[in-house]
Chains A and B, each alone.
Chain A
C-alpha cells in the first residue's frame, strides 16, 4: 500500500486569497491534497472552510492566487466543466424528480444509450445502498436517504474529486456515526479524492487521512489525525481538537534540544524541545491530554512520574469517568479520563489521589 505522500497531487492551493468586500475570508491558503486521499477541512463556523471548498467546486471566484486541479489552473473554468462533484449540505435533491432522475441528472450529455444509463443509475444506487429506490419520489426520502441519493448523483459522474460540504451535520448521532463508516468504505471502494468540510473534530479524526485545521481564513495546521491530536502545533489547535489540559509553567533552561520547565503542580520536567511546536512568544504552558493522566488505585505504582491531587469533580459517562483534579495542592486543575473497568471504583469528590503521568505526553506551547 502506498502512503499518501507517494501519490500524485490532485489539488494545489497557491497563496489563495478571497475577499468579500472588506472581509478577508481566505488569507493565503497554501497546500496540496493528494489523489485518493480522504482530506478534511476542519474549523469553527466562519473559518473559511466552506469557502475554500467552494473555490475548488467553482462556486467562488478567488481574489488572488491559484487553485489547481490535477495540475490545471481552474482560473476561469466554470463549475459545470470542473472534474469535481459536490454533495451539498442541504443535499440539493431536485424535488420535482424521482430518485433515478436525480441520480441520472448529470448523464444528459453522456453518449451512452438509455438502457445503459439506466443501468448505471441502478448501479450507483446499489453502491450507496438504495437498490430499487429509483422510482421513489425524491421529496419523500428521509435525511439519510437523501444524502445517499446526493452521493450517488455525484459519484455516477466519476469525478476526480468528491466535495462534501458538512454532509453529516443534518443527521442524528447514530446515523452520523453509521454514515462516517460508510463514507470511509465508499471512498476506499471508488478510490477518488474525497474532501470533507466539517466543524466536528471527532468526525474529521475518524474519517480523514489528513486534516487541515482552519481558523479565520488560514490553515493553522495540516497533518494526519494522530499528529494533530498528539502534536498540535498551537494551543488553539490543541484546544479545538479534543480536550487538552493546559498547565502554566516556567522555562528554566534550554540546551541541546532539551527544555527544562517548572510546571505548576507537576514539578520540574525535562521536555524534548525538538518535538515542541514553534515558539510564538506566548506565556508558556504545557498541554496534556486527559487520557495521558492516570489515577493510581491502591497497590499501583507509577511507571514514570506521579503527583498528588484532590478530586474536585466527577463526571460519569458510562464507559468512562472524567475527574477534575487539583494538582499537588495548587489551584491547577486538570481533567483526566479513566476507563470504567472492574476493580476501579468511581471515586468521590474530595478524595485524595495519586495521578500518574509521563513527560513524553507533554506538549510545550510558548
Chain B
C-alpha cells in the first residue's frame, strides 16, 4: 500500500518537487547569479555590462565591495568613488530609518486593530472585519501612491482640512518632506500585513488565561501587559519582519512620492543595474543590502527569542 518509509519519502518528494523546483529556478538561481556577479570584474576595472562583449573575461574580485568603503580619495578610490560610497551609505541609512519608522508606525497602529477584532468583535463577524481590513489591497499600489500624492501634496486634502479648521494658514505640502511622506504612504500600505499575524497570535491566547490574570489580582491593563502582550509577541515579531524586510528594499515609493529626491537603497541598485549598466556594482549593492537586512532581522529575532517557540 506504499506505507513503507521509503515509499512515503518518495511520495513526499514527489509532492514537494513542483514548488521546490519553482523556488530553485526563480529564487535560488537568480540569487546565486547576483551573488556571483557581485564578485565579478573585468580586465582594467571596466564596468561589467551584460551581455559581455567579445573577448571580455570575468574574473573574481573584491573591488566592487571595496568601493563601498571608499571614504576618502586614494590610489584605489577616485573622487567619484568617494561620492558614490557616501551617497550609498546615506541611502542605506535612509532605507533602514524609513523601514524602522514604517514598522514602528504600522505595528503600533495594527496592534489595537488586531486586538479589537480578536477580543471585541463577535466571532461571526471576525472574517468580515479581516476582509474589510484588506480593502486597501484592492487597488494597485501605484494608484494608492498617486492618491497619497493628492492627499499630502501642496493644497491637497491634508492642507485643505487643516486650513479649514484653522490650524494652518499656509499649505504644509507634506510631500516636500520626502522621508515623512514615504513613511506615511508605506505605513498605510503595510498595515494589513501587520494586522493579520498579530490577530492570529491574539486568537491563540486562551481566554481563561486573562480571567486567571484577573483572578490573581491583576487589573485588565496589567493582565494585558503580563499575559496578553507576551503571548502575542510572536505575532508582533512576525509583523515587524513582514513589514521591515520589504520596506528596506522599497523602490516605487521614493520614486513616486519622493520624486527621486530622497532615494533609498533600491533606487541605487536600479541606477547601477539599468541606468549605468554596471550589473556587478548593482549586484554588490543588492548583496550588501540583503546582508544588512539579514543581520538586523536576526538581531531582532534573537532579542525577542524568549517570546518565540522556546517558551520557558
Query: What is A's interface to B at a CB cutoff of 8 Å?
Result: 57-59, 78-81, 84-86, 88-90, 92, 94-98, 101, 105-106, 108-109, 137-139, 153-154, 157
- Tell me, in angstroms, the Cα distance from A139 to B226 when the chains sit together: 17
* Residue B7 at the chain A interface, CB threshold 8 Å: no
B231 touches A106 (CB 8 A): no
What is B's interface to A at a CB cutoff of 8 Å?
A: 206, 208-209, 211-219, 222, 226-227, 230-231, 307, 311-312
Contact of B215 among A85, A95, A96, A137 (CB under 8 A): A85
How far apart sit A104 and B256, CA to CA, in the bound complex (Å)?
55
Tell whether A94 pairs with B209 under 8 Å between CB atoms, given A106-B217, A157-B217: yes
Q: When the two chains form their complex, are residues B312 and A137 in contact, meaning their CB atoms are under 8 A apart?
A: yes
Is the CB–CB distance between A92 and B206 below 8 Å? yes
The A/B interface has a contact count, at CB < 8 Å, of 70
Q: Which residue of B lies closest to A137 (CB)?
A: B312
Contact B231 A96 (CB under 8 A): yes
Do residues B216 and A157 form an inter-chain contact, with CB atoms below 8 A? yes
Q: Evaluate contact between B312 and A98: CB separation under 8 angstroms.
A: yes
Asked whether A139 lies within 8 Å of B211 as measured between CB atoms, the reply is no
Residues in B whose Cβ lies below 8 Å from that of A57: 211, 215
Task: State the Cβ distance, A192 to closest chain B Cβ, in Å.
Answer: 15
CB of B206 within 8 A of CB of A79, answer no
> Is the pair A80, B215 in contact by a Cβ cutoff of 8 Å?
yes
CB pair A94 B227 closer than 8 Å: yes
Contact of B212 with A86 in the complex, beta carbons under 8 Å: yes
| Among A80, A86, A96, A105, contact of B311 (Cβ-Cβ < 8 Å) | A96
Q: Are A96 and B214 in contact (CB under 8 A)?
A: no
Most B Cβ at <10 Å: residue of A84, A89, A96, A106: A96
A57 vs B208: C-alpha distance when bound (angstroms): 13
B206–A139 contact, CB under 8 A? no
Which residues of chain A come closer than 8 Å to B217, judged between CB atoms?
Answer: 80-81, 106, 108-109, 157
Q: Known A78-B214, A80-B217, A139-B311; judge A96-B230 contact (CB<8 A).
A: yes
**Residues from chain A with Cβ under 8 Å of B208 in the complex:** 88-90, 92
Inter-chain pairs besides A80-B217, A88-B212, 15 sampled, C-beta below 8 Å: A57-B215, A79-B211, A79-B215, A80-B216, A85-B215, A86-B215, A88-B208, A92-B208, A92-B209, A96-B312, A101-B312, A105-B226, A106-B217, A108-B218, A154-B216
In the complex, are the beta carbons of A95 and B212 less than 8 A apart? no
Q: Chain B residues near A138 (CB, 8 Å)?
A: 311-312
Select from chain B the residue with minimum beta-carbon distance to A97: B312
How far is B215's CA from A285's CA once the two chains are assembled, in angstroms?
47
The contact sample of 14 A-B pairs, CB cut-off 8 A, is: A79-B214, A81-B217, A89-B208, A90-B206, A94-B209, A105-B216, A105-B226, A106-B216, A108-B226, A109-B217, A138-B311, A138-B312, A154-B215, A157-B217
Q: How far is the CA of A108 from the CA of B227 in the complex (A)?
A: 13
Q: Hey, which chain A residues are within 8 Å of B226, CB to CB? A: 105, 108
Q: Are A80's CB and B209's CB within 8 A?
A: no
Top 10 A-B pairs, shortest CB-CB distance: A106-B216, A92-B212, A92-B208, A79-B214, A80-B214, A98-B312, A86-B215, A106-B217, A96-B230, A88-B208
**When the two chains form their complex, are residues A92 and B211 in contact, meaning their CB atoms are under 8 A apart?**
yes
